[in-house]
Amino acid sequence: MTDSLVFIGDGLTSGGRWDEWFPEFNVHNFGVSGETTDALLLRLQQVSELEPNAVIVQIGTNDVGWRRSDEYIVRNVETILYRLRKQLPDTRILAQSIPPRERDHVDVIRSINRHIRQFAPTLHAGYLDLWPMLADPDGEISEGFSEDRLHLNDAGYAVWLAEMKLALELLYETPTSTSVIPVQYI
């Protein structure tokens, strides 16, 4: 039986040719152009119903574009990850950073990514940081990876894909959860 991968997120996810890039998996691309964290929260049930082996989450850049606060976005991303873990306790989860975009969003995106990186392990989820590969030294997305400072071009997707392959290898080497240690009361 082939493992199933579900990709959820915004237009960056939607634009990926994940089924072509991961032919060894049964891939479902639930990326939606313009998707926000609020909208994704409303669609999580369709992901849970598939009972996939792994869920790959990349969301938040549209919230940043709408100028929502980093606290608001972090809370929603944490809720997404929490609900996925609760509904799919045996599924591998990979949370991804919000990729860089225009320079005026650098500080907010860095704040959000720091929180996601710290929170993901608490739910036994992996974390893939796309920032170092896609950003210029000033924090803006590298011109070579995007024509509009938001959407990825083929070179940007190639970088993401290379990192994704490594992240999936690590994700499949890690248990989906750990057993609960019973607490003894005296």
- 10 Å Cβ neighbour count for 168? 20
**pLDDT above 70: residue 123:** yes
The token pair that represents 126 in the structure block = 């992996």
CATH of the domain at 167: 3.40.50.1110
| 57 occurs within a structural domain | yes
Task: Report the number of distinct structural domains present in the chain.
Answer: 1
- The answer to whether residues 45 and 21 touch, using CB atoms and an 8 Å cutoff, is no
The dihedral through the CA atoms of 134, 159, 23, 17 has a sign that is positive
| 182 occurs within a structural domain | no
Q: Which band of pLDDT confidence, cut at 50, 70 and 90, is reported for residue 186?
A: very low
The dihedral through the CA atoms of 81, 82, 85, 87 has a sign that is negative
| 180 occurs within a structural domain | no
| Dist. CA 157–CA 125, nearest whole Å | 22
| 35 occurs within a structural domain | yes
Domain holding 38, by residue range, is: 4-173
- The residue among 111, 122, 113 whose CA lies nearest residue 58 is 113
| pLDDT of the residue at 175 | 75
| 80 occurs within a structural domain | yes
- Render pLDDT for 141-175 as a digit per residue (tens, 0 to 9): 999 999 999 999 999 999 999 999 999 999 988 77
- Render pLDDT for 14-50 as a digit per residue (tens, 0 to 9): 999 999 999 999 999 999 999 999 999 999 999 999 9
